[in-house]
Amino acid sequence: MTPIPFNRPHATGREFDYIREAIARAHIAGDGIFSRRCQAWLEEQVGCVKALLTPSCTGALEMAALLSSILPGDEVIMPSFTFVSTANAFVLRGGVPVFVDIRPDTLNLDERAIAAALTPRTRAIVPVHYAGVPCEMDEIVALARRHSLLVIEDAAQALGSTYKDRPAGRLGDLAATSFHETKNVTSGEGGALLVNAPDLAARAEIIRDKGTNRSRFLRGEIDKYTWIDVGSSFVPSELAAAFLWAQMESAGAITERRLEIWTWYYAAFEALERRGRLRRPIVPEHCRHNAHMFYAIVQNHETRTRLLDVLNAAGVNAVFHYVPLHSSRAGRRFGRTIGDLPQTDSLSERLIRFPLWIGMEQSDVAGIVEIVEQALG
């Protein structure tokens, strides 16, 4: 079959026009008209108090760690099954990631495991909305409120998803989302910090702009700006924002098409699931996902290795996902683990992700599924 890459970034056709417009406006350093449009779109779609574009979701998480005032030795509860940036953002402030297990159904942070991880040093909980399916946020937020903890959503994969009809990114105090080229809406590299706690909004602007009150100066609220807090350079290029704006204008259509492709996979793998060869993704009824990815859980690690070899030999770039952080060298050095993490260990070794990008046809999905059926017998 024709080679099928894991991802192929989608362009709407307006990206170059907006980049040319940004250049013509002679302002490409950031926080120009396209940045403002993107941030306003996020505030409207998510309903957050303030949205701030960043060069990456990693940068947004680092901003969240700064806003959380994490001090050396402070603890932050998170799943081990996540990208390294979720932990790194807090380790950079001297914080200690506390790894807990994931749910067997959604692969999200198991809200039932959080209580056992609490100590007097706990400062925040970081739920990760895996594959665009939101965590059980009502329970997580309620527990956080009882213990005066911040909730910081890692919504890197979840822009456009909802939990009980409420947008992901609007469910905690802070959230970070991603516009990496593998995401539904992309600027190649990019992200955003979403601020829901009103008392954190003003400081978020300051931290994003190198610890200065430059944003107030640009709005004409003060006659000069100065250094007033810690911060760093978290403002992305206006060229990236121009590209992103073209994507945001088509976000609904992009997600709709991805959901169609996701549904093709889901229907085509039903027979293999009935025969016990694999397990399809589970999306709770009260959640709406954004088709960020399609994955399956096979019987064991050996089966996954064999299946990946067969698929890639046939030109299908299927992949696995995270190596759990608690088993990594840095994870053991900087973090700690609450008991055994059986679901994390087992599911991470059996998960396989399949290509999903706009431009795929139903025949592509059918060909991939046929290869899987033959390989799994």
**Structure confidence by residue, pLDDT tens digits, 126-146:** 999 999 999 999 999 999 999
- 72-92 pLDDT tens trace: 999 999 999 999 999 999 999
User: How would residue 1 be classed by pLDDT, with cut points 50, 70 and 90?
Assistant: confident
- CATH code where residue 340 lies: 3.90.1150.10
Looking at the structure, tell me whether residues 36 and 108 fall in a common domain.
yes
Averaged over 198-216, what is the pLDDT?
A: 96
Decide if 35 is inside a domain: yes
Please choose, from the candidates 346, 333, 341, the residue with its C-alpha nearest in 3D space to the C-alpha of residue 304: 346
71 and 181 both lie in a single domain: yes
DSSP states of 282-307:
---TTEE-----EEEEES-HHHHHHH
Please check whether residue 243 lies inside any domain of the structure.
Answer: yes
The reply to whether 192 falls in a domain is: yes
Between CA 317 and CA 297 the distance in angstroms is 17
Give the pLDDT confidence score for residue 280 in this predicted structure. 98
Q: What's the structural domain count of the chain? A: 2
- Mean pLDDT (whole number) for 184-199: 98
28 has pLDDT over 80: yes
pTM for the full predicted model: 0.97
Q: Is pLDDT at 153 greater than 90 in this prediction?
A: yes
pLDDT tens digits for 261-311?
999 999 999 999 999 999 999 999 999 999 999 999 999 999 999 999 999
Domain extent for 156: 15-249
Query: Rounded mean pLDDT of 18-24?
Result: 97
Within a domain: 123 = yes
Q: How many CA atoms lie within 13 Å of 314's alpha carbon, on the beta-carbon side?
A: 18
Residue 337 inside a domain? The answer is yes
Closest CA to 193 of 223, 222, 216, 159: 159
Mean pLDDT calculated for residue range 10-34? 96
Provide the sign of the torsion angle of the four alpha carbons 217, 221, 227, 229, taken in this order.
negative
* Helix (H), strand (E) at residue 370: helix 362-376
pLDDT for 377 equals: 81
122 forms bridges with which residues in the sheet?
75
Q: Based on the fold, state whether residues 32 and 120 are members of the same structural domain.
A: yes
Q: Quick check: is 6 in a domain? A: no
Q: Is residue 279 within 8 Å of residue 347, measured between CB atoms?
A: no
Taking residues 86-107, report their average pLDDT: 98
